[in-house]
Structure 1
Amino acid sequence: MPTLTRQPATRTPAPAALSFDERLALAVLAVDARIDTGPLDLADVIRGPVDASAPVLQPYRTPIAALLHRAEIRLLNDGWCADRLRDEQGAVCMIGAIRAEASSRSEADDACTLLLDIIRDEFDPTAETIASWNSRQRDGRMPARILGHAASRADARGV
């Protein structure tokens, strides 16, 4: 019968205890490995396809607020342009969108007056006209956003 010899048990050394800061740093690395920590481009979040065939919901009951909302939708659907009311491709500026959606010239004038006041009060006190402010924009994101904001402010004012 063979004899069995007993081997001495080998122990692995216990890991050194980690400090709180070291554990926290490892936790941050683990979370970063699971998520994308790159910068967020808000243009990709805000901009999206607009379905022109879908019915436009009218969230505002006051006439000027409703007009400004429709102008925002038109600008988003048709595209934005500067230095003219409408370009060859059908894109519109802010005033062109308001005029296209207004039921009368006086309604368009009232909406433009309110819009210019809001641009001056809340965004650019140096704006001389809507057209000059619109022309200084790089793309249609800010004009569309301003039209939406103006619609909300008009509704709050009851106009």
Structure 2
Amino acid sequence: MTRPPLPPFTRETAIQKVRLAEDGWNTRNPEKVSLAYTEDCRWRNRAEFVTGRAAIVGLLTRKWTRELEYRLIKELWAFEGNRIAVRFAYEYHDDSGQWYRAYGNENWEFAEDGLMRHRLASINEAPIAAADRKFHWDVNGPRPADHPGLSDFGF
């Protein structure tokens, strides 16, 4: 199985890979998202370290159980060969209705088949008022092509 686009990345294919990842994560489907990673993929997500698809599914299941109405935007930061660096922001609310915006950076390394084999994520978040939300699209679909990106918001 391959997961195009494949490394080595060009600017165009790196942007495409980032958008595919964003669209996948916005499904909030842990099993579907995990298929973009190698069977033995290593992650650092905040202070949690996991290895393998089953652990990724577990982490994402816990994440999206508590991060409700999650909406994510990713943007290419840099790329070279089989590596891509992205910055991202996402918004969600907890079960009490408090909204948050999280900001972060990820470093990705891909295998030859286009599956990600290493993901390092650094994430910070802050509470926001519902009126300060910026990410508005149907929570059951990907970000529309005409919705502003991170640079448009100055994030």
TM-score under structure 1 normalisation? Answer: 0.27
Structure number with greater Rg is 1
Higher share of residues assigned helix: 1
TM-score under structure 2 normalisation? Answer: 0.28
